[in-house]
Chains A and B, each alone.
Chain A
Amino acid sequence: MTLLRGFLWLLGFQLLGQLAVEWLALPVSPAMAGLLLLLAWLLVTRRLNEGVAAASQALIPLLAMLIMPGVVGVFFVIDEFAGHWTAVMVALVLGTLLSVLTTFWLMRRLMPGDAASLDDSKESRP
């Protein structure tokens, strides 16, 4: 029952998110608005109720399974972009490598304490 109650809370916040998105014409998905609203609610009340904690613990491990059906679509569009695969692959692989490197570099630059104090000379090496 605790789990169900928590699930109902999550659905409630998703619905609130949907209302917010509709009313304010926000460019985010209802679920993301729900996440932000639930987080704001938790930060204001400073109390995590048992049900919400139980439901989130049960649901978060399902994330990978839930994104899988969208991933399956890739195998069905391979023909559609036959002429551009090299550009697409190089852009994705090289672009991602560069952006991961940039995030690491920026965060290390800006982070105080232990992480930022690590050897700086290594950062200039790509």
Chain B
Amino acid sequence: MSHWHAVLDGPILAIALTLAAYLGGVRLFERLGRPNWCPAVLIGALLTAAGLWLLGIPYADYRHDVAWLTLLLGPVTVALAVPLYQQRRHILALWKPILGCLPLAAALAACYAVAIAWLLGAPPAVLASLAPKSVTAPLAIGIQEQIGGSLSLMLGGLLITGVVSTLCVTWLARLLDIRDPRLIGFTLGVNGHAIGTVRAFELGPTAGAFASLGMSLTGVFTALFLPLAWRLTGF
């Protein structure tokens, strides 16, 4: 029994479980015919949760151990500078619409959700958790520290927003007859942060670069704007 405990205590199990669940998620995702409504990340997350439950590992312990792996999120974020650099000509050609659209689009992404939840009578803690919904996780955690709310609810909101954005972008692009990968990628990044960006890279390098751009700009803008807006509106 003590041998088993030694295995459960180390971070290797958490990392192995994560890799296995992710690979299983990707496999199932392919089997299901790459459905838009259920990204590989979501299947992988369900498999991970099931694994934790079967092994009797509390989520907090898992989160602590898997930090050895998620540490890589830092250098991967830095690496997103490379597709941005490679696509610089496309991006520079569109700098005006991008800068004109971004502040309004990013601010509205937060405002719509907060306003709707407020109208439905959600308490301030819930509103604060929903506000950073379109921001990439590492930045959103920083915002949450400033404006309050629940970290887990916020991360849940990020997940749902990412999935719903991917769906909405696919559906609305078809409805509005939008085929420009720059426009689709940018919209995916602005609204759907990392999950949208992952989807955009599936569509191609141009969409991926525009999604990275949309994600970074939205993240930076919201990180600056939201704590200020929160103080001004007095939540």
A residues lining the B interface (CB < 8 Å):
7, 10-11, 13-14, 17, 27-32, 34-36, 38-39, 42-43, 48, 52-53, 55-57, 59-77, 80-81, 84, 86-104, 106-108, 110-112, 114-115, 118-119, 122-123
Contacts and interface: CB of A to CB of B under 8 A. Distances in A.
Contacts of A11: 75
A88 B134 contact: no
Given A39-B81, A92-B160, A104-B176, A14 B109 contact: no
A112 B97 contact: yes
B180 A84 contact: no
A65 B108 contact: no
A97 B22 contact: no
B77 A35 contact: yes
Contacts of A76: 49, 59, 152
B74 A68 contact: no
Given A80-B152, A81-B153, A95-B112, A56 B82 contact: yes
Contact of A35 (B66, B146, B216): B216
Given A87-B122, A104-B178, A67 B187 contact: no
Nearest to A97: B168
B223 A100 contact: no
Nearest to A7: B75
A83 to B, nearest CB: 9
Contact of A92 (B77, B137, B164, B169): B164
B79 A74 contact: no
B123 interface: yes
21 contacts: A27-B224, A27-B227, A36-B216, A42-B82, A60-B80, A64-B39, A64-B41, A68-B25, A73-B156, A75-B46, A84-B126, A90-B120, A92-B157, A95-B109, A95-B130, A98-B108, A99-B105, A100-B169, A103-B105, A108-B183, A111-B94
Contact of A69 (B62, B74, B113, B126): B62
B81 to A, nearest CB: 4
Contact of A62 (B72, B82, B165): B72
A73 B155 contact: yes
Taking residues whose C-beta sits less than 8 angstroms from the other chain, chain B's interface range is: 35 or more
Interface stretch (B1-9, B30-38, B193-201): B193-201
B198 to A, nearest CB: 5
Given A13-B78, A91-B130, A71 B159 contact: yes
Contacts of B220: 28, 32, 36
A106 B46 CA distance: 36
Interface in B155-190: 155-161, 164-165, 168-169, 172-173, 176-178, 180, 182-183, 186-187, 190
Contact of A89 (B134, B160, B197): B160
Contacts of B88: 43
B105 A106 contact: yes
Given A27-B223, A74-B45, A97-B164, A88 B122 contact: yes
B49 to A, nearest CB: 4
Given A100-B168, A122-B177, A60 B45 contact: no
Contacts of A52: 79, 82
B160 A59 contact: no
A68 B230 CA distance: 29
B150 A67 contact: no
